[in-house]
């Protein structure tokens, strides 16, 4: 079983592409022999394994965004919401799901004290997360340092450096590399045998990303737009990603769609390896 988030449905893409992508990712999990479990908040319930009608409801455009800081309030008022990385990790652990596929994680922004709730969640829930690194608008070096401080193993999949989200790789070296899904599953099992709470972050570079020079030029222009618009705080990430998509004439969206499908395929392979070895249950009380 593979957990999938739903903010890409509620906030990541315009209609109808958002619903098409959600269905496509679930189909990818099934193609690889797994069972998809897309999470979301529907009518004040945190649902693990949305039905197609519930996906349509979240894709309609009226849903909020559920992170850990506001999840309780959203449930209390009976809201609909897409789940972020942090909230999906919580739901996956509650449901006993060991693997989660996403695009890029949140991390450390350039603005002082602006850090994503994804980071402590990765340290709090014993789930293996497959991603393409921190979103490219973030400080990747600071994010990696923060993950180290939190005790989260960051593991390169067939790569010795941290994945760069929209670009293939950063220049940041990783201490651990695996070349098979089975090796990745073994790290989560070993963590659990030790009684560690932290999950594992599996960094999977996108197969065809933007060049570093092209991306840097796009990022500089997007930053200028954000500064001129006075955008900050929780609105910064969606504004920047939308600006990058506009400035690149859709190329960043194409890369994003490619990487999340690749991550979903890898996550399903890791989930299968965990199931085959019984690693999903190897956790001491």
Q: Domains of the chain by range and CATH?
A: 1-95 (no CATH), 98-285 (3.40.1790.10)
Segment 157-213, tens digit of pLDDT: 999 999 999 999 999 999 999 999 999 999 999 999 999 999 999 999 999 999 999
Model confidence at 235, in pLDDT bands (50, 70, 90)? Answer: confident
Q: Catalytic site residue 135?
A: yes
Q: Which entry of 26, 115, 135, 262 is annotated as an active-site residue?
A: 135
Active site residue 197: no
Q: How confident is the model at residue 284 (pLDDT cuts 50, 70, 90)?
A: very low
Per-residue pLDDT, 279: 60
pLDDT tens across 91-149, in order? 999 999 999 999 999 999 877 778 999 999 999 999 999 999 999 889 999 999 999 99
Tell me which of 5, 26, 261, 262 is the catalytic residue.
Answer: 5
Asked whether the predicted pLDDT for residue 281 surpasses 50, the reply is no
- Record the pTM: 0.93
Query: At residue 206, what are phi and psi to the nearest 5 degrees?
Result: -65, 150
Say how many residues make up the chain: 285
Give, to the nearest 10 degrees, the angle between helix 17-31 and helix 251-277. Answer: 30
Task: Give pLDDT, residue 259.
Answer: 97
Q: What percent of the chain has pLDDT over 70?
A: 97
State the pLDDT at residue 172. Answer: 98
Distance of CA 5 to the CA centre of its chain: 7
- SS3 for 131? strand
């Amino acid at each position: 079983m593979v957990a999938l988030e739903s903010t890409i449905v509620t906030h990541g893409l315009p209609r109808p592409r958002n619903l098409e992508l959600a269905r496509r990712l679930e189909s990818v999990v099934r193609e690889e022999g797994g069972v998809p479990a897309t999470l979301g908040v529907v009518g004040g319930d945190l649902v693990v394994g949305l039905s197609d009608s519930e996906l349509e409801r979240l894709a309609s455009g009226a849903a909020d965004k559920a992170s850990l800081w506001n999840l309780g309030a959203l449930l209390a008022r009976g809201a609909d919401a897409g789940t972020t990385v942090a909230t999906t990790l919580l739901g996956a652990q509650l449901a006993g799901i060991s693997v989660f596929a996403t695009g890029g994680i949140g991390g450390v922004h350039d603005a002082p004290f602006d850090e994503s709730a994804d980071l402590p969640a990765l340290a709090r829930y014993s789930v293996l997360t497959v991603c393409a690194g921190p979103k490219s608008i973030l400080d990747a070096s600071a994010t990696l340092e923060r993950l180290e401080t939190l005790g989260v193993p960051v593991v390169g999949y067939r790569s010795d450096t941290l994945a760069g989200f929209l670009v293939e790789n950063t220049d940041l070296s990783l201490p651990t590399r695996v070349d098979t899904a089975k090796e990745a599953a073994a790290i989560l099992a070993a963590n659990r045998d030790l009684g560690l709470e932290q999950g594992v972050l599996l960094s999977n570079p996108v197969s065809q990303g933007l060049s570093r020079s092209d991306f840097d030029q796009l990022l500089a222009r997007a930053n200028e737009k954000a500064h001129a618009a006075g955008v900050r705080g929780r609105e910064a990430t969606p504004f920047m990603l939308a600006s990058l998509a506009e400035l690149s004439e859709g190329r960043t969206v194409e890369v994003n769609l490619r990487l999340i499908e690749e991550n979903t395929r890898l996550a399903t392979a890791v989930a299968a390896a965990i199931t085959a070895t019984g690693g999903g249950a190897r956790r001491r009380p």
